[in-house]
Structure 1
Amino acid sequence: MSTPGPPPPVWGVLLTAGRSTRMGKPKQLLPLGGVPLVRHAALALAGGGHDGLLAVLPPGEVGEGVRAALADLPFAFAVNPDPGRGLLGSFRVAAQTLPPGVAGANFALGDMPFLTPAMHVALVRAFRETGAPAVLARYGDPGGETVGAPPHLLRADLLAELPGLPDADHGPRALVRGHRAQVVTLTFPAEHLLDVDTPEALAQAEARLAGLPSV
C-alpha cells in the first residue's frame, strides 16, 4: 500500500505593481514604522504557511527597490511590464510564473499592512479542508456590515482562466462570480482592513502602529 504524498503546494503571491495614483508617488517603499510599506504585507504572507512565495513587481527603479526590501525573505520575483493595464495584469503575471502543479495561490496586496500571518494560515487551512474554488476575506465587526477585500485564495483551475478575462475587470471578480455557490468566505475584524493608498491613510497607519488614536 503506497504512502500518500504531500498535498499539492499552495503559494502566497504579493501584488506590488500598482501605480500609486492616489498617493501621488510610488508608495511601495514609503516608510511605515521605520520600514518600507510593502514589507509589512510581505512579512505577514511569509508567515502564512505557504509552500512558496512570489512577489509581482513594477518595472524599473521601484521594482528593484521592492526586490531589495524583500531580499532576506524567501520570495521569487516576477515583473508586470505594464502596470497601467490594471490589477488583473498582475494576477496574470503571477499565474504564468507559478510552477506547475500548484493547488492554488493566495493573493495579497502590498499596501495592506495590518494583515497577520494567522489570517493567511486561516485561508490556507480553509482551502485545504474544503477544496473550494476560492477562499475570500471579508472585514467587519460582529453584528455589523462587512466589506470584501483581499487576500483572495484561488484554486488552480481558476488561475488557468485568468488570460480569458477582459482587461476591464480589475481583479478576478468574474471568476469568483462564476463559482459563487462553492466559495468559502472568512470574516476578520475590521481593524485589519486598511488600504494605504493616500497620504491620509499612511498617516492613519502610522498612528495605529504608534498606538495613537486615528485622526
Structure 2
Amino acid sequence: MSPASPPPVWGVLLAAGRGRRMGQPKPLVSLAGRPLITHAAAALAAGGYDGLLAVMPPGEVGEGVRAALSEWPFSVVVNPEPERGLLSSFRVALGSLPGGVGAATFALADMPLVPPDTHRALVSAFRETGAPLVLARYGEGSEAVHAPPHLLRADLWPEVLALPDADHGPRAVLRAHGAEAVDVDVPLDQLLDVDTPDALAQAEGRVSPPPRPPR
C-alpha cells in the first residue's frame, strides 16, 4: 500500500488593508518599479505551496490588486468590509479555502522582504512535524520576535473564526497554542512592514523587482 499523500498546504496573501498611514492604497504603491504587493506575491508563488489565495479590497483598488497578481496563479477573493480589520480578511480567506487543505500560511502584502526560502522552510517544518503552528521567528536570543508569515493547521481555523471583532488578527490563537508551535528562524533583516512612507523609503534599495513568471 502506498503512503497517503500529505494534505495540501496553501499560501494566503492578505492584501485588503486600507493604507491609512501610507496615505494611499498600500498594495499598489511602487517599490523597485513594481507594485508593492508583487514582491510578497512572487515569494509566495515560489514558496512550494499547493495553492495560492489572495484577499483583496472591493472597488477600484481591488481591481488594481487583481491586475497586479495576474502574473501568478492566485485565486482572488474580495473582503467586502476591510474596514473591520485584519481579522475580517482572515475570515474571508478561511471561508474561501477548498476542502481538504491541511494548513495555510498567512502572509501580508506589505512585507516585501520575506523571500521564497522562508515560505519553503515553513512548509517543510509542517511536513516534518505536523505541528499546529509554524511561526517565523526573526532575530536571535532575547531579541527574537514572531511576525508573519504564520502557518496554521486546519484544525485551528475554527478558533480563528470564533475570535471577537475587537481582536487584531489571530494573536489569541497563536498565544493559546504557543507551546505547541514550531519556530522557523529567519534573519531579522527580513522584518519590515511597509505601512508608512518612511518604511517604503527603507525598503527601496533592499529589494529587486520580482522576476516575471515565464510565459
Which interval holds the TM-score relative to the shorter structure? Answer: over 0.9
State the secondary structure of the residue aligned to 1:125. helix
The alignment's TM-score, normalised by the length of structure 2, stands at 0.93
2:148 to 147, 150, 155: 150
Q: Which residue of 2 aligns with 1:80?
A: 79
Q: Where do 5+ consecutive residues of structure 2 fail to align? A: 209-215
State the secondary structure of the residue aligned to 2:194. coil
User: AA paired with 2:201?
Assistant: A
Shift of 1:144: 5.6
Q: Report the Cα distance in structure 1 between the residues aligned to 2:151 and 2:206, rounded to whole angstroms.
A: 27
Q: Which residue of 2 aligns with 1:108?
A: 107
Query: Which of 178-187 and 146-155 deviates more?
Result: 178-187
For the Cα contact (< 8 Å) 2:136–2:147, is it kept in 1? yes
Q: Report the Cα distance in structure 1 between the residues aligned to 2:141 and 2:4, rounded to whole angstroms.
A: 42
Q: Which residue of 1 aligns with 2:159?
A: 161
Q: Report the Cα distance in structure 1 between the residues aligned to 2:135 and 2:94, rounded to whole angstroms.
A: 18
The alignment's TM-score, normalised by the length of structure 1, stands at 0.93
Q: Which residue of 2 aligns with 1:132?
A: 131
State the secondary structure of the residue aligned to 2:65. helix
Q: Which residue of 2 aligns with 1:213?
A: none
User: AA paired with 2:20?
Assistant: T
Aligned residue pairs, count: 208
- Taking only aligned residues, the RMSD between alpha carbons, in angstroms, comes to 1.2
Q: Which residue of 2 aligns with 1:187?
A: 185
Q: Report the Cα distance in structure 1 between the residues aligned to 2:3 and 2:90, rounded to whole angstroms.
A: 31
Q: Deviations over 1:132-178 (max 9, x none)?
A: 111111211x4561122100100001112222111111111111222
Q: Which residue of 2 aligns with 1:94?
A: 93
Q: Report the Cα distance in structure 1 between the residues aligned to 2:206 and 2:163, rounded to whole angstroms.
A: 38
State the secondary structure of the residue aligned to 1:169. coil
1:23 aligns with 2:22: yes
Q: Where do 5+ consecutive residues of structure 1 fail to align? A: 211-215
Q: Which residue of 2 aligns with 1:174?
A: 172
